[in-house]
A = this chain, B = another copy of it.
């Protein structure tokens, strides 16, 4: 029997070989493959649901939380969403082959920069089995091979999904080795993936903060970091308070468990009296627990006192830290100190405050007068997204197909030498 590390290496090698073929496929070939994969997924729905039922049964038996079981569970509707997702990716424009820019240099060479696939993309993710289909589709459309490592609790579901995708792809020009699922549930398999330098070109971890930290700290392959969002909404002195209220409620309550939800509300002292006592009951009615600074506590008696760690926390829950600040500068300093550079919003009617906030806040997405919940590939019009990058290199913010590519210089000469 071969070791887990050797098994991962072989799959990464197979993916690397497939990547060369992937890069040469036309959009028509890739779209035909995605359509066939969607079809196969649709046909295999009963097998996928049966495999998923097994996963869910084991998850219940081992006492996973209801939230995790919900993420794990597939339904006919969720399978249909995966099928639609594949078709939607097929319909997106192909980023590969775009000449980003081309020019002539004094030596007479014609230099161009052309968009090409990254090669092999590794995705390490947790409970949701739909990521298997969604991530594979985006990677393949951008001309890459993909190595998938899902959560152990979703293994049967993932095997069934990849089987269907491979069956569909098998009827087309897509190289079969372009979709690799690491089936070992051992942590060693993740460690082995992080060592496949030269075979896997980039790793994208999708999941909780712990997973992401592990990958960032241990991978020798370049990593695109996704996810952690300690997002702020700052209500400036002159804000339209009705607008501020609807943005705050939306940013906190519409889907509190996601990375672009608000975690801390900052309020200018001149707006605090008129704003917080009106907002608090609405939040509390929606089940939000408020943790406030001393000035907030004076205005919102139901609030608990906030501790230093509250300003750092990504609650992902119906909890909100609230702080009254003296000025825009204090708000900017707070965000610079505690923020995770994900999504930050100001609510204001003041031109100069809006300009300064947009310019001075260092984050993937900076908003004036809108909810942070819009940070999303679909909402930004990028088509689908593979994740939201909170790092600065290569990709920042929602990552669409373009972020799954790189460029190369192509140079046309007529015998030029230096």
Binding site for B on A (CB under 8 A): 20, 23-24, 103, 105-107, 109, 111, 116, 118-119, 201-202, 216-217, 220, 222-224, 240, 243, 246-247, 249-251, 254, 336, 358-360, 362-371, 373-375, 379-381, 391-394, 396-398, 406-418
Do residues A392 and B201 form an inter-chain contact, with CB atoms below 8 A?
yes
Answer whether A417 and B105 are a contact pair too, CB < 8 Å, given A23-B362, A375-B409: no
Evaluate contact between B396 and A406: CB separation under 8 angstroms: yes
Smallest CB separation, A297 vs chain B (Å): 27
In addition to A116-B362, A251-B417, 14 A-B residue pairs with Cβ atoms within 8 Å of each other are A20-B360, A216-B220, A224-B393, A243-B415, A246-B417, A250-B418, A365-B410, A366-B408, A369-B414, A370-B411, A370-B413, A370-B414, A373-B417, A397-B408
Residues of B within 8 A of A417 (CB): 246-247, 249-251, 254, 370-371, 373
Give Cα distance in the complex from A151 to B289, angstroms.
54
Query: Closest chain B residue to A358 by CB distance?
Result: B410
Query: Which of B246, B374, B392, B411 meets A109, CB within 8 Å?
Result: B374
Give 26 pairs: A residue, B residue, CB < 8 Å, sorted on A. Answer: A20-B360, A20-B362, A24-B359, A24-B360, A105-B379, A109-B370, A119-B362, A201-B392, A243-B415, A247-B415, A247-B417, A250-B418, A362-B408, A363-B408, A367-B411, A368-B413, A370-B412, A370-B417, A371-B416, A373-B418, A375-B409, A393-B393, A393-B406, A396-B406, A396-B407, A396-B408
The answer, among B20, B116, B368, B371, for a CB contact under 8 Å with A418, is B371
Complex: chain B residue closest to A249, CB-CB: B417
CB distance from A275 to the nearest CB of B (A): 15
Give the distance in Å from the alpha carbon of A365 to the alpha carbon of B406 in the complex.
12
Q: How many copies does the complex hold?
A: 2
Which residues of B lie under 8 Å from residue A359 when comparing CB positions? Answer: 23-24
Q: Which residues of B contact A374 (CB under 8 A)?
A: 107, 109, 411, 413, 416, 418
- With a CB–CB cut-off of 8 A, which chain B residues contact A106? 381
Residues of B within 8 A of A366 (CB): 408-411
Using Cβ atoms and an 8 Å threshold, which residues of chain B touch A370? Answer: 109, 411-417
- Cβ contacts under 8 Å, A116 to chain B: 362
Name the residue among A105, A358, A393 with the largest chain B CB count within 10 angstroms: A393
A409/B393 contact (C-beta < 8 A), A362-B23, A418-B254 known: no
- Judge whether B369 and A412 touch: CB under 8 Å: yes
- Chain B nearest CB, measured from A14 CB (Å): 15
Q: Is the CB of B111 within 8 A of A369?
A: no
For A364, give its contact among B223, B249, B408 (CB under 8 Å). Answer: B408
Distance in angstroms from A369 CB to nearest chain B CB is: 4
Closest residue on chain B to residue A250 by CB atoms:
B417
Cross-chain contact of A111 among B358, B381, B392 (Cβ < 8 A)? B381
Q: Are A415 and B220 neighbours in the complex by a CB distance under 8 Å?
A: no
- Given A368-B411, A417-B373, check contact A392 B247 (CB 8 Å): no
